[in-house]
Chains A and B, each alone.
Chain A
C-alpha cells in the first residue's frame, strides 16, 4: 500500500512537471510578449525591463528558473496588476472556488445517490420515469443556460416576493452559495444518478442480496446495509474526474453569478493576456486535479477491500 502510494505520488509529480512544461512552452509560443504594451518604450528601457524580469536569458535558462520557482511554490508577479503576486491571487480567490466546488460536489454526490437509488427501487414506475427525464435534461442543457435560467428565476422570485429572498449574484453569506452550487453540481448529479441507477440494478440481481432475503432480513435493512453500500462504489470512482469537471465548470457559474472565484479570474487574465497569472493558475489547477485523483483512488482502496490496490 505504501509503495503504491509512493509510486502514485511520484507519477503525480512527473505529471505536474509535464503540465508545467507544456504551459511554459505553450505560452512562449504565443506571438507577442508581456512587455509589448500600449506604451512605447525605448530599447534601453526595454532591455532594462527584460533584464529585471530575466527575459533576456536564453529560453533554456528561463525554463530552469521557472521550474525552480514553481518547485518553491512561487508563481511570479502579475503583469497587469501592480504589485500583485500570483500566489496572493490564488490564495485570495481559490478558497472561494473551492468552497463553491465542495458544496457542489456534496449536492451532486448526495443527490446522485439518492435519486439513483430511488429510480432503481421504483424501476419503470413513475418516480423512475420522472427522475430519468430530469436526468436527461440535466445532461443535455449546457451549464450556462441552467445558470442563466436559475438567475432569471431568482429575479422573478425576488420580484414576486417584493424582497430579496435569495441574492441573484455576488459572494458573502451561505445564501449566496446555495443556487450557484446547485447549478454547478447539476450535470454531475445527473451523471451520478444514471451511474447509481445502473449499479443499483446490477446489485439487485446478485447472490448476496438473495441470501439476505432468504435470511429474512427486512427490506429496509437489505436496502441500506447491502444494496446501497455495494452500489455506491462506482460512484466514488468517478468522483475524481467529477471534481475536475466541477472546478472548470465553475468558470461559467462564477461569471454568471458574479462570484470572485479563481475561475472568473482566470478568464479575466486570459482576456488581458496576463501571462504569469495564466501560467500560474493552469499549473495550480493541474496540480490540484492530479492530487485529487490520487486521493480519490486511495480513498477507494480504503473503503473497498476488494480493490487493495496492487495492480
Chain B
C-alpha cells in the first residue's frame, strides 16, 4: 500500500477559474447539427453530389454542348451512341440501268448480283435475263436464314435488274430474289444476297451540311466525318444529348418547383388551420379531406384539359398549376398536426406571456420548429412530381411537342424500343437516377432533421 502524503494546502479551495464555465466546443445550432449528421451519411452525401451533377448537367450543359435540341440531322436519323459517322464523298446521284455498262453476273442459280458497290444513294441489283420472266425482290435488315422471314417485298419485276433507293441506311441488307411462275406464284430457287451499304454524301450535300468549304479541293471517294452525336439521335435526327439537357430543365423545373410551391401553400393553410383551431380548423381540414379524395391523376388530366394548351405553348405552366391545386392538402395536414402539438409547448406559452404577437409566435417559434418536417416532405415530393410529369408526358397529356422533357422523350422512344433502345433508355435512366437521388437524400434528411422519425426506414 503506497503512502499518500497530504498537506493542508491540498484542502484549500481552488481559485475561481473561468475555464470551467467555458464551453470548449462551438455551440451547434439545430441546422449545424443536422448538417453534421447528414455529412456522416455517405448515401445522402452521394445523392447530394448526384443532384448537384444533374442540375449542372441540365443548366450548364447546354453552354458546353451548344447544339440546338430541335435541329434535325437528316443524315443520321435514329443512330445509337458511338455509331460510325464516317461518310464517303460521291458523285451526284444519276439514275442507272444495266444497259449503260456491262454487268458480270454472279455464279448462283439466278445470277443474282450486286451491279455496282452499294451505298446509301442506291443499291443496284441485276440477275440473269433467261428463265422465268418475273421475279419478286425482298429486302430484310435481318438474316432470313435465322429469322425465317424474307422481309419487305420491294417489287415484282419484269426486267432483270432493279435499283433500290428506299430509305437506305448504312449497314447490312439481305436481298432475296424469288422467281415467279406464270400465274404470279412464288416458286422455289430463291437466292439471298447480303449487301453491305456504306454511307455516301454528294458534294452539294456536303457543302450544305458544312462538312467542306467551297474553296476546299476535294475528290470523290474521300472520307469525311458527319456531325458528332455522343448519345446518338432520336427518330427525327435530333441530338439526344442536347435534348436530354433541355428536357431535364423541364423535368427538374417541374420536379423541384411544384413541390416548393404546393408545400408552401400547404404550410400556410395548415398553420392557419392549426393555429386557429376549433370549428374553423374542422371546416378547413374537412375541405382538405375532400381535395385529397379527388383521384389525383384523373384530375391532373382533367385540369390539363380545362386549362388547355394554346399553339406554341409548352404546357409546363398548366401542369404546375394543376399540381399545386391538387397536392397542397398533404403538407397542410402534416403542418397542422405539428402546429397543434407545438401550440401546447411551454416555450410558446412563455413567448405569449412575454407579449409576443400571434404573427411573431408563429413565425419565430412555431414554423421554425416544423421546418425539418417540411424540408423532408419537399424532398420526398420531388420524385413523385417528376414521376407525375413523366407519366403525363408519357400518355401525351404533358408538355407539348417539340418541347422536350424526359417523360415525353420516353414516350417517343418507346415506339422504336426494339430497334433503337437508346432513345428510351437514356431519358428513362435519367428519370430513375434523379428519383433515386432525391429518395436517398430524403431518407438522409429525415434521419438528420427529424429525431422522431429517425431509424424508421
Contacts and interface: CB of A to CB of B under 8 A. Distances in A.
A152 B295 contact: no
Nearest to B421: A152
A247 to B, nearest CB: 8
B293 A15 contact: yes
B166 to A, nearest CB: 25
A275 B358 CA distance: 48
B391 A142 contact: yes
Contacts of B294: 18-19, 22, 286
A137 B424 CA distance: 17
Nearest to A140: B436
B424 to A, nearest CB: 6
A136 B302 CA distance: 31
Contacts of B410: 142, 144-145, 148
A259 B38 CA distance: 46
Interface stretch (B129-137, B196-204, B394-402): B394-402
Contacts of B439: 136, 139-140
Interface in B410-429: 410, 414, 417-418, 421, 424, 428
B305 A270 contact: yes
Chain B contact residues: helix, strand, loop or mixed: helix
A29 B8 CA distance: 95
B396 A271 contact: yes
Contact of A252 (B295, B306, B394, B418): B394
A302 to B, nearest CB: 23
Chain A contact residues: helix, strand, loop or mixed: helix
B297 interface: yes
Given A30-B305, A140-B435, A271-B396, A148 B414 contact: yes
Interface string B31-61: 0000000000000000000000000000000
A142 B432 contact: yes
Contacts of B417: 148, 151-152
Nearest to A16: B293
Interface stretch (A43-51, A172-180, A277-285): A277-285
Chain A interface size band reads 35 or more
A31 interface: yes
Contacts of A255: 395
Chain B interface size band reads 35 or more
A240 to B, nearest CB: 11
Nearest to B387: A142
Contacts of A145: 410, 424, 428, 431-432
A282 B308 contact: no
A108 interface: no
Interface in B296-315: 296-299, 301-303, 305-306, 308
A19 to B, nearest CB: 6
11 contacts: A27-B305, A27-B306, A141-B428, A142-B390, A143-B391, A151-B417, A152-B418, A155-B418, A248-B297, A266-B298, A285-B295
Interface of B: 289-290, 293-299, 301-303, 305-306, 308, 383, 387, 390-391, 394-397, 407, 410, 414, 417-418, 421, 424, 428, 431-433, 435-436, 439-440, 456-457
Pairs A-B, 4 closest by C-beta atoms: A140-B436, A145-B428, A248-B297, A18-B290
